[in-house]
Amino acid sequence: MVRVDKQLHTPMYFFLSNLPFLDICYSSNSVPFLLFSGLRDYPTISYTSCYAQMTTALFLGMTECLILDVMAYDRFIAISNPLCHTIIMNDQVCIQLAVVTWASAFLLAVIPITAILASFCGHNIINHFTCEAQALLKLIWSDTLVRLILGLVIGILTLPLHFTFILISYTRIVVVVLRIRSAEARLITFSTCGSHLTVVTIFYGTATCMYLKPQSRKYRDQGKVTSTFYSAVSPVLNPLIYTLRNKDVKDALRKIIKKK
């Protein structure tokens, strides 16, 4: 007879611990500068600081893309093969995936940008609240290859590729869920993906508005607001989304409301 260990081992929680750290780093990269700039009539930033801010933002954004990919894969394993979930996604595998995720983001986002020498000419005014990648790219004139590499990193590796992987994972999840005979069991099983789907929607929705929108003046102004939302509001929403999906937290909130 096999004894089932009642101690909960959820790989999802391990990867969730990476998201708050990412959110703190992303907010720290841009929000202090936003607050400082709001207190000055003509805010300025050095070339090195601006380039570092852009590179850090791309690195953290790429890392979050990869983390969301791994979490989607984890949900697929948990639903398609629940009995072997903790065996397949054991502690060692989770740590290895986390290391590969951060290392891959560094190689894909930081190395290509720091390896090339971008030259700037003309006006030195960035039409944005922070050193956003697309706003900074408009000032680069040195080489078409520079724009091509940075555009490839931002436009393809950061968004469509990862979103396609998540879409494939959830397509396979839906196929598995539809095989469950009980409608109630299908709803309960798929509800375990609710928090992740919400975070993915917010992340890719704002990122799409920032990077894949038309480059007209109207959309550029909207991009500034979207960027501020992504850097200041989204990091606050992510922990709340996962917290309010937790049954123990919801029960505690109900008890507090009833007492009041």
The stretch 229-249 carries a mean pLDDT of 74
More confident residue, 154 or 77: 77
List residues bridging with 120 in a β-sheet: 140
- What percentage of the chain exceeds 70 in pLDDT? 73
DSSP state of 107: I
- Band (pLDDT 50/70/90 cuts) for residue 99 is very high
pLDDT tens readout for residues 42-59:
777 777 788 888 888 888
Phi, psi (deg, nearest 5) at residue 123: -70, 150
Structure tokens at 250: 């919801």
Q: Which of 6-10, 93-97, 105-109 has the lowest mean pLDDT?
A: 6-10
- Enumerate residues 6+ apart whose C-beta is below 8 A from 9: 86
Give the number of other CB atoms < 10 A from CB of residue 116: 14
Looking at residue 4, what is its pLDDT? 35
Q: Which of 170-179, 188-197, 209-218, 245-254 has the lowest mean pLDDT?
A: 209-218
The stretch 124-147 carries a mean pLDDT of 68
The stretch 141-157 carries a mean pLDDT of 59
Looking at residue 223, what is its pLDDT? 65
The answer, yes or no, to whether residue 7 has pLDDT greater than 50, is no
What fold characterizes domain 11-190? Rhopdopsin 7-helix transmembrane proteins (1.20.1070)
The stretch 67-93 carries a mean pLDDT of 88
- Band (pLDDT 50/70/90 cuts) for residue 2 is very low
The answer, yes or no, to whether residue 117 has pLDDT greater than 60, is no
Handedness of CA 207, 208, 210, 212 (dihedral sign): positive
Identify the CA nearest to 38 among candidates 213, 185, 232, 177.
232
- Band (pLDDT 50/70/90 cuts) for residue 9 is very low
